[in-house]
Chains A and B, each alone.
Chain A
């Protein structure tokens, strides 16, 4: 049947790509330049005082963390204001709703566009840190896939959140109480083992920590703290639960 199934998902994906083309340079800056600056300031600057961490230089230790957290931040950034805006200001979802596009297509198309974006970004980042001597293993080549998994696992629940709020003031709260704490305490800059026990649990629950540890295992060529399947299972759990949460949120908001 025309318009249904994969076609509709692709059509939604294309719409977001068309929008993205306009913002390419601005977003390239924040998704590429900022992580590199971070690496220089913290990895090199502070790293000079840290010395080795688990037998590798501090720079090498935080490279995978910065990589995964950049993907995570993109996922959150792209699913907050843009999603609320398409419900409230441009009413883009309402326009889609009047066509054969289904809720699942809207959600899947928008998530896939982020996957399409994060893969090349991660590859470029890998090449740059390679020049800094930031990689230690050929397993590094799987990190773009891990970044994609982090994006999906964190974008979906945030989409569900954005579909349920009406005032963008709540985003400031999401950023300050969820996103920033996660990037700062989920094992990006220092091992979560240093955290108080309760905070450690929170880090273990977060999708970002699993992404960071998988990336770190890959770039350093070591085994991750939990078995690989356990980390992957946590990311999958976030994806499934988040997907359900997002679909329900969209369906409710569009069904009036």
Chain B
């Protein structure tokens, strides 16, 4: 949590001097307002939560019945216990990315939501922060529900869930910021294929379904450089164990991601919107 706050301060002071919380809130408020527009968006929002849950039930529980135990930190655990925190990290990632890539891009290009917003005193950076905050809200909504499911199914303890929850916020922030930066580079819908493929590849190979130590060495080294791996390891370390100083490395990676993503996004978004 410390790191999140530190990142927040750095962002406020160093990158966006003069940002108004009120105007960021106004952008956020627009998204909350859209929720009242009807059941469709609600359902879509809610349904996003089910995807990782279904994977947990299918691969974690279904295939897990065929697997038995998997080693975590030298200690064998149930396969479902191993997969669950990974799916938690994935739901944080996809919740944040869905909002900051797909929805932001749509508002940019098609709905032209921002054109109208920019005709007011709201600044591009404030739009970015407003959208990011909203993405974080969505992400935490998913991870909170997911953690409740995990505790109910006995896949983590209440203490583990409490420890993992703030970590999912950091995961959401990191991916949300990077997603925001990426969406400023997207040219059209065809780029979403690339983005989805990339996201899906991370999903399959980040120590999610089997320990990275099983991968060939070269492969393992590559995976340890990618973001979802650190998210999964951080969340798994807190929810299942073992806790160790490596968790700080994983958290540090995500903090750097968040700051770098915000920095790029804030530089590009102004250019894109004020043409």
Contacts and interface: CB of A to CB of B under 8 A. Distances in A.
The answer to whether A and B come from one shared complex is yes
A41 interface: yes
A173 B43 contact: yes
Interface residues of A, number: 34
A46 B55 CA distance: 14
Nearest to A26: B193
Given A37-B201, A180-B54, A49 B40 contact: no
Contacts of A30: 193, 196-197
A45 B63 contact: no
Given A41-B205, A177-B50, A49 B67 contact: yes
Q: In which size bucket is the chain B interface?
A: 35 or more
5 contacts: A41-B205, A46-B67, A48-B210, A169-B41, A180-B50
Interface string A206-242: 0000000000000000000000000000000000000
**Secondary structure at chain B's binding surface: helix, strand, loop or mixed?**
helix
Contacts of B153: none
A33 B197 contact: yes
A74 B170 CA distance: 35
Interface of A: 23, 26-27, 29-30, 33-34, 37-38, 40-42, 45-46, 48-50, 53, 58, 167, 169-170, 172-173, 176-177, 180-181, 184-185, 189-190, 194-195
Given A169-B41, A173-B43, A42 B197 contact: no
B69 to A, nearest CB: 8
B210 A26 contact: no
A46 B210 contact: yes
Contact of B51 (A33, A167, A176, A195): A176
**Secondary structure at chain A's binding surface: helix, strand, loop or mixed?**
helix
B47 interface: yes
A34 B55 CA distance: 16
B117 interface: no
Contacts of B59: 42, 46, 184, 189
A48 B214 contact: yes
Nearest to B39: A169
B226 interface: no
B190 A190 contact: no
Contacts of A169: 40-41, 43-44
Contacts of A23: 190
Contacts of B68: 49
Interface string B164-198: 00000000000000000000000000100110110
List 4 A-B pairs, minimum CB-CB distance, nearest first: A184-B58, A45-B210, A41-B204, A169-B40
B119 interface: no
Interface string B45-76: 00110110011011100110111101000000
B65 A190 contact: yes
Contacts of A177: 47, 50
A236 B43 CA distance: 33
A45 B209 contact: yes
A236 to B, nearest CB: 28
A170 B208 CA distance: 29
Given A41-B204, A45-B209, A194 B65 contact: yes
B37 to A, nearest CB: 11
A190 B63 CA distance: 6
B79 A181 contact: no
Contacts of B55: 184
B199 to A, nearest CB: 11
A48 B51 CA distance: 25
B200 interface: yes
Contact of A49 (B47, B48, B79, B197): B79
A46 B44 contact: no
Contacts of A194: 62, 65
A41 B209 contact: yes
Given A46-B210, A58-B66, A169-B43, 17 more contacts: A23-B190, A27-B193, A30-B193, A30-B196, A30-B197, A40-B204, A41-B205, A41-B210, A48-B210, A48-B214, A49-B68, A49-B70, A167-B40, A177-B50, A189-B58, A190-B62, A190-B63
Contacts of A26: 190, 193-194
Contacts of A33: 197
Contacts of B205: 37, 41
A42 B63 contact: yes
B79 A176 contact: no
A45 B214 contact: yes
A23 B190 CA distance: 8
